[in-house]
């Protein structure tokens, strides 16, 4: 009980801290964070055929968050001046490629093609790296 008394304020402070940092996130950062969670979970079990239903649910979450991100503007768009429209067009094209790559993973998981699912999944990481290099600060 004494321990609980000490831990409760700590838990409140920690959860407030999380709420504050979340509030500062851009809408795209919120979508990306949700995508990241699903992506990491999927990475652990993409080769496990017994997790088919769960993997399809994780892929649906990745698809939802990437489609939502494609409708938003990255923070870096604000620094593009006259190039902004072209920059956003390039961003949306890369996001569309990413959404297609997610659909390929989905097709392989649906077909029970574990090796194909893993190969398609690995491509997501390449697109993520490229997307972050091209459109994300730091
Ligand atoms: C496996 C796929 C991906 C994962 C797991 C991922 C994950 C993340 C994470 C964790 C963040 C930081 C969020 C935060 O600060 O709270 C982020 C930010 C960002 N990501 Fe991704 N990402 C992926 C794919 C992509 C792709 C394909 C693009 C672009 C074509 C992209 C563009 C960005 C941008 C622009 C930001 C900064 C957000 C802003 O400017 O507001 N990401 N991503």
Q: Is the CB of 42 under 6 A from ligand 1?
A: no
> Could you tell me how far CA 13 lies from the centroid of its own chain?
27
The answer on pLDDT for 29 being more than 80 is yes
Q: Which of 32, 80, 89 has the most ligand 1 atoms within 8 A of CB, as the residue to mutate? A: 32
Q: What is the pLDDT of residue 51?
A: 95
Burial class from Cβ neighbours inside 10 Å (0-12, 13-18, 19+) for residue 51 reads: middle
Q: Is the CB of 18 under 6 A from ligand 1?
A: no
Find the range with the poorest average confidence among 4-8, 12-16, 70-74, 129-133. Answer: 12-16
Q: What is the pLDDT of residue 11?
A: 59
Where do the domains of the chain lie? Answer: 26-135
Alpha-carbon distance 78 to 60, whole Å? 30
User: DSSP 3-state assignment of 87?
Assistant: helix
Candidates 95, 97, 123, 127; CA nearest to 108 is: 123
Q: Which two tokens stand for residue 56?
A: 């399809």
Residue with CA closest to ligand 1 atom 39: 74
The answer on pLDDT for 16 being more than 60 is no
* 65-102 confidence digits (pLDDT tens): 999 999 999 999 999 999 999 999 999 999 999 999 99
Please state the CATH superfamily assignment of the domain spanning residues 26-135 in this structure.
Cytochrome c/b562 (1.20.120.10)
The average pLDDT across 41-53 equals: 96
């Amino acid at each position: 009980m004494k321990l609980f008394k000490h831990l409760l304020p700590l838990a409140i402070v920690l959860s407030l801290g999380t709420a504050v940092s979340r509030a500062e996130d851009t809408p795209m950062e919120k979508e990306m964070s949700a995508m990241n969670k699903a992506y990491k979970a999927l990475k652990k079990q993409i080769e496990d055929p017994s997790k088919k239903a769960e993997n399809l649910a994780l892929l649906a979450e990745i698809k939802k968050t990437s489609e939502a991100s494609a409708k938003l503007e990255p923070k870096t768009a604000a620094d593009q001046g006259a190039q902004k429209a072209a920059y956003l067009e390039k961003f949306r094209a890369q996001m569309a490629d990413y959404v297609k790559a997610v659909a390929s993973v989905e097709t392989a998981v649906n077909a029970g093609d574990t090796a194909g699912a893993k190969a398609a999944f690995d491509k997501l990481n390449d697109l993520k790296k490229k997307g972050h290099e091209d459109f994300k600060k730091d």
